[in-house]
Structure 1
Amino acid sequence: MSDDHTGCGRAADRTQAFAGLTDHYRAFRPGYPEGVLDTLREHVRAGATDAWPDPWLLLDAGSGTGISTRALRALFGPGPRVVGVEPGHDMLRAAQAEGGGVDYVAARAEEVPFADGSAVLVLTAQALHWFDRPAFYAESVRLLASGGTLAVLNNNRDLSGSAFVDDHEGLLERYSPGYDRHHRRYDLVGELAGTPGLTGVVEHTHPWTRELTTDEYLGAALSSSRTAAVVRELGEERTRAEIRAVADRHFPDGRVLMPYTTQLVVARRV
């Protein structure tokens, strides 16, 4: 799952919020910077003990179309078992169709069907804001072996100092009921530090810029559940026109520059 969630205006079953959006999601969502992924891998390896299960089990909660799940396979190589955990029917089908040497289970992040202490990594990428966070943290503690890693990974649009991003977010706030650009502004480090069974919480950040054509920017915008809410308000034709107008105002040459800060927060299972 992923992106742009607040309490109002969402589908009754929020696990299905990306129904019908998977083609755009799969085609236009970004991956994650290589250096951030390397940091994640080294954190996992640093916690390894002889008591860990063999093969290692790496879980990706809220795995969506499998962008982060396949990244784990590439990052850790062929040895570990990599499993995406995803309740969204469309997202799960799209992920399974991509293959990539990984497995998937249909389940919620708060109720993962694996045994206590069976995983060495529980990752959630671009999805934590959809979860019952305290329940997910507790479930991760249950799943992780001692020394294992809970990791939260987000590609956040950089909201500071960009007239373009301000324009983009303003469009969503005007026409997507209940949307607030600050929906991820919660104390993630504090929440993890306060979770029994976790220790050594560390946050890493990595600023970067994604270059897109206007069509790619449009496709990425249309992959969002919040833009889907705009479509319900304005209709698809006007929504597309409004999104293109944002790009044209700031990047008339068609070279759209979207600033991101990728956030990785890791904690160790006691």
Structure 2
Amino acid sequence: MSDRTQAFTGLTENYRAFRPGYPDQTLATLREHVRAGATADWPDPWLLLDVGSGTGISTRALRGVFGPGPRVVGVEPGQDMLDAAASETEGVEYVDARAEDIPFPDASAALVLTAQAVHWFDRPAFYAESTRLLAPGGTLAVLNNNRDLDGSAFIDDHESLLERYSPGYDRYYRKYDLVGELCAVRGLTGATEHSYPWVRELTAEQYLGMALSSSKMAAVVRELGEERARAEILATAGRHFPDGNVRVPYTTQLVMARRV
């Protein structure tokens, strides 16, 4: 697809239904980091931006963990994603914009978050834009649910399916040094990383739906056809979980830095 911002066209129903949320402990750590940087000069209400917000999973999570006070805005250029998010607003807003060009004033945000999306961005441009947007003391946060690529035979099987049939796919495509990258951004300080391992339990059909929400798995479907792709995905689950109770190991990664 030539326009990467539309990569999830046709996938949003499964995305909204089957993608995981984020551990409460992770969200609480994020909230406390934002609160610790607060100053009397911050705009009132606080502005919390969720960049690459997709169907709004992380946007709604911000509203839940920060309560009703702040203004919570999802930033998303994918039209299908925006349409899906708009059907469940729950006290949040959405704007159609790219991560590298966000239509809010300088020093207006208490938080710029990107959850499960930074690998889609021009990261240096996004970091520069985030630094522009953040008020002094504000937080830039990168949040990822990462599958256990090295410690699970099931995940190895899942990733091998993608590598066989999704052209150009490499399971380590999100392996980069986020702490090092944020440390190198002028205007940010104190980059830190927090990791939270956990296991998500799914039925085989839920696992199938989650797999089919992936733009990478969409390439497998194009390569094999939908019927065979679905059969391969279910066979992967069946080999490791014959009882039908699929257990997906994750480590949730939260990397944060503060605006000077």
TM-score for the superposition, normalised by structure 2: 1.00
Q: Where does residue 260 of structure 1 map in the other structure? A: 250
Q: Report how many residues are paired.
A: 260
Residue of structure 2 in register with 1:6 after alignment = none
Quick one: which of 175, 187, 191 aligns to 1:185?
A: 175
Matching residue of 2:39: 49
User: In structure 1, what is the equivalent of residue 198 of structure 2?
Assistant: 208
CA distances 1:161-182 after superposition (whole Å, capped 9, x unpaired): 2110000000000000111000
- Are 1:233 and 2:245 matched, yes or no? no
Q: Which residue of 1 aligns with 2:7?
A: 17
- 1:137-180 residue CA offsets vs partner (Å, 9 max, x unmatched): 00000000000000000000011221100000000000001110
1:33 pairs with 2:23 = yes
Residue 165 of structure 2 is aligned to residue 195 of structure 1: no
1:99 Cα deviation after fit: 1.5
CA distance in 1, matches of 2:225, 2:31: 43
Amino acid aligned to 1:134: P
1:152 aligns with 142
Displaced runs of 4+ in structure 1, greater than 6 A? Answer: none
Q: How far is the alpha carbon of 1:100 from its aligned partner?
A: 1.0
Question: What SS does the aligned partner of 2:87 have?
Answer: helix
Could you tell me how far apart the structure 1 residues matched to 2:64 and 2:175 are? 30
Q: Distance in 2 between the 1:87 and 1:62 partners?
A: 8
1:94 to 84, 89, 102: 84
Unaligned runs of 5+ in 1: 1-10
The aligned residue for residue 51 of structure 2 is 61
Once the two structures are superposed, residues 19-66 of structure 1 have per-residue CA deviations (whole angstroms, 9 ceiling, x without a partner) of 000000000000000000000000000000000000000000000000
The whole-number CA distance in structure 1 between the counterparts of 2:58 and 2:206 is: 20
Distance 1:174 1:56 in 2: 46
The one-letter amino acid of 1:220's match is M
Give 2:104's aligned residue. Answer: 114
CA apart distance, 1:242: 0.2
Query: Structure 2 matches for 1:125-144, cutoff 5 A?
Result: 125-144=115-134
- What is the identity, as a one-letter code, of the residue corresponding to 1:200? G
Residue 156 of structure 1 aligns to a residue in which SS?
Answer: strand
TM-score by length of 1: 0.96
1:227 CA displacement: 0.6
2: CA distance between counterparts of 1:130 and 1:217?
23
Distance apart, 1:187 and its partner CA: 1.0
CA distance in 1, matches of 2:148, 2:32: 26
Aligned residue number for residue 158 of structure 2? 168
Matched, 1:80 2:70: yes
What is the CA distance between 1:98 and its match in structure 2? 1.0
Percent of residue pairs identical: 77
SS in 1 for 2:69: coil
Once residues 218 and 144 of structure 2 are traced to their aligned partners in structure 1, the CA distance between those partners, rounded to angstroms, is: 21
